[in-house]
């Protein structure tokens, strides 16, 4: 059965977004796809999707990665770098209640410690390393939502500059036990900078520091100017809806 497809202009998508936001008193909890875009065949599954060439975006990410590593290595304070054995994962909700688990496989984290306490932490994420276990879905998200072939949009960066270790000293944080640390900073995603807070747990095992989220960090699509890209993604994926909130977890091993 052929899929019925309705093409709406950017202005039309923007209008639909505005109507949905107004109805919810702000950003909607779930963005709704136009029913005309839903394939009536209950067995329909979107097929493969070609990903545009992302070489330039990958090259820029790796240049930023090298720059961060070089800058941190030249610092006076104790430096820590991710060991590549942790993970950054996220859960998004489609069709009202269907959870999609995904990962970003390529990232680098760098931290400066002073007197055994975190002073700053940076995290660069290669957006093109997205993995939801479905290649066609990966490519649709990257191309239609993230537009990750655009060099500046192929990297997500996080900077934490404020830490509250709940009164713990550097010596306490090094005792091998998990300790809560509140972190505050900024995130740059889709070319938009927003404040970010994270409830973390930090512990040291020998020479390795383990930093992980205590609870998911909530990222809202409405905060990052995705606009009509959300509707284009729903139409291509044959989704009834996509939730505004995406919940991100991380566990980083640093030395």
Instruction: Decide if pLDDT at 77 tops 90.
Output: no
What is the pLDDT, as a whole number, of residue 183?
A: 98
| Residue 132 binned pLDDT confidence (cut-offs 50, 70, 90) | very high
Domain spans in the chain, listed from the N-terminal domain onward: 52-233+241-254
**Rounded distance between C-alpha atoms, residue 235 and residue 36, angstroms:** 9
> Quick check: 157 and 100 in contact, CB under 8 A?
no
**Rounded distance between C-alpha atoms, residue 7 and residue 151, angstroms:** 27
Helices (H), the chain: 10-23, 55-73, 135-140, 170-173, 228-237
Strands 179-189 vs 117-126: parallel, antiparallel or unpaired: unpaired
Query: Mind listing the pLDDT tens digit for each residue in 222-246?
Result: 999 999 999 999 999 999 999 999 9
The fold adopted by the segment(s) 52-233+241-254 is Lipocalin (2.40.128)
Task: Give the torsion sign (CA, 213, 95, 235, 30).
Answer: negative
What is the pLDDT, as a whole number, of residue 13?
A: 41
Mean pLDDT of 190-216: 97
């Amino acid at each position: 059965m052929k899929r019925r497809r309705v093409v709406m202009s950017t202005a039309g998508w923007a209008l639909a977004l505005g109507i949905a936001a107004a109805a919810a008193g702000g950003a909607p909890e779930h963005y709704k796809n136009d029913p005309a875009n839903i394939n009536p065949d209950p067995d329909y599954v979107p097929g493969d999707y070609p990903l545009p060439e992302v070489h330039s975006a990958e090259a820029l990410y790796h240049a930023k990665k090298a720059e961060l590593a070089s800058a941190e290595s030249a610092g006076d304070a104790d430096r820590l770098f991710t060991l590549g054995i942790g993970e950054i994962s996220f859960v998004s909700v489609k069709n009202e209640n269907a959870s999609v688990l995904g990962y970003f496989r390529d990232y680098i984290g760098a931290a400066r410690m002073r007197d055994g306490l975190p002073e700053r932490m940076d995290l660069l994420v290669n957006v093109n390393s997205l993995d939801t276990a479905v290649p066609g879905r990966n490519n649709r998200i990257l191309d239609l939502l993230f537009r990750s072939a655009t060099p500046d949009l192929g990297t997500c960066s996080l900077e934490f500059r404020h830490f509250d270790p709940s009164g713990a000293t550097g010596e306490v944080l090094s005792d091998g036990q998990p300790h809560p640390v509140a972190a505050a900073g900024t995130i740059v995603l889709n070319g938009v900078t927003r404040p970010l807070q994270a409830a973390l747990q930090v512990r040291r095992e020998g020479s390795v520091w383990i930093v992980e989220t205590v609870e998911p960090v909530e990222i809202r699509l409405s905060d990052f100017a995705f606009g009509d890209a959300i509707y284009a993604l729903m139409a291509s994926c044959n989704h009834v809806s996509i939730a505004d909130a995406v919940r991100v977890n991380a566990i980083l091993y640093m030395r």
